[in-house]
Amino acid sequence: MLFDSKEISHYKVPTMATDSLVLSTLLAELALRQLPCGGWAALASSSQPAIEPTCYSALALGSVPAGDIERAQDFLLHTQNPNGSWPVFPGDDQEGGWVTSLAVMVLREVVPAIPARLQGFHWLMNCAGKESNWFWKWKFRIADRHVRFDPDKYGWPWFPDTVSWVVPTAFAVLTLNQIPCSCGGLEQVSYRVNRGVEMLLDRACPGGGWNAGNGVVYGSALAPHADDTAIALLALRDRAKEPVVQGSVDYLERVAATLTAPWSLAWAILALTAHRRPTTSLSSSLVALPDLSSIEDTSTLAVVCLALDQPRALQAFGVTL
């Protein structure tokens, strides 16, 4: 049995039991936050359902008898845009956004959702950062060079008509890697995934890790962020031997030990687990954070649950160990 390093009086808290207890408490809280429509709102105090918290919550609650996952899946199916994408929240404009990757991932094992997922895959294949267009590529190469990046290496934007960024690209790569076969109009999947992976490698910060996607601006190296780094590393699990990836895992391991914010710490645990680095002490730090079940941000609550159930979370993200 593993023991937590923190002693409470003369009694040592067994880590596994603590983690399980905390996880079940947090899952119960997450289930309580489900709205009548089946979705979850971004904040506990809000009643406006949104796709991102719904997806993380559905992934977290996927295998436990809490919450109504079928209702969550129905919610996602009913909010899909006619063009195959998902909006940020019901009622949003219908051009779609990066959360499409998350929705497609959540509906992975739902047989009636196969057509919806296919539409989602097609939308992702047709969506690309603005720098993929020859005109912008040329402009970034010739005239606008204050941000250092290679415009030939493009991924996915947060929303159509803007350039590629790290988090939407990482989630699109994770999602497209779940396509069972490159057929039926999806023959270019490998090409797009490879461009996305190249884009991620290109946008890394000089000292390792990623931020939103600006590694160097006006000659200055910008600092990486733990959460962006972790999400990128999940997408780059199969590129573990790349020096950029190794340097970024090292960065994340260093910074994770100092994190006190549950969102970043939870993502760091998932990514470090995926890259076979030890996370036991990080998990202990996570469960020791105060007031976890009263976290206002529902996505954070759900990602904390995922971090405490790593094997299933990584499976949901399509990451194999």
Partner 1 sequence: MIGSAALAAGAAVTAPFLLPKYHSDQRPKRSRVAILDAQQYSQQLDQILAAGLRLFPLDVRGKRVLLKPNLVDYIPGNTINTHPLLVLAAAESFRRLGAESVLVAEGPGHQRDTHLVLSQSGYDRCLRDERIQFVDLNRDQLIRTALRASYTGMKDLWLPRTVLEADFLVSMPKIKTHHWSGVTLSMKNMFGLVPGARYGWPKNILHWKGIQESILDLCATVPIHFVIADGIVAMEGNGPLNGSARPLGKIVLADDSVAADATCARLMGFEPERIGHIHEGSRFLGNASPALIEQVGETANAPATPFQVVPEFRRLRAL
Residues that bind partner 1 (CB under 8 A): 41-43, 46-48, 50, 52, 88-89, 91-92, 98, 130-131, 136, 139-140, 143-144, 146-147, 149, 157-159, 161-163, 165, 167-168, 211-214, 217-220, 222-223, 225-228, 259-264, 296-297, 299-300
Question: At residue 238, what are phi and psi to the nearest 5 degrees?
Answer: -80, -5
Rounded Cα gap, residues 147 and 32, in angstroms: 44
Closer residue to partner 1 (CB): 21 or 217: 217
Nearer to partner 1, 24 or 159 (CB): 159
CB of 201 to partner 1, least distance (A): 16
Q: Is 313 exposed, middle or buried (0-12, 13-18, 19+ CB in 10 A)?
A: buried
Task: State which residue, 117 or 130, has the beta carbon closest to partner 1.
Answer: 130
Q: How far is the CB of 190 from partner 1 (least distance, A)?
A: 26
Least distance in angstroms from the C-beta of 271 to partner 1: 14
Closer to partner 1 by CB, 17 or 217: give it.
217
Q: How far is 208 from 190, CA to CA, in rounded Å? A: 26
Output the smallest distance, CB 34 to partner 1, in A: 17
Q: What is the CA radius of gyration of the chain?
A: 20
46/182 with CB nearer partner 1: 46
Q: What are the helix (H) ranges across 89-133?
A: 99-106, 114-126
Residue 197, sorted as left (phi over 0), alpha (psi -120 to 50) or beta, turns out to be alpha
CB of 255: closest distance to partner 1 in angstroms? Answer: 11
Q: What are the beta bridge partners of residue 174?
A: none
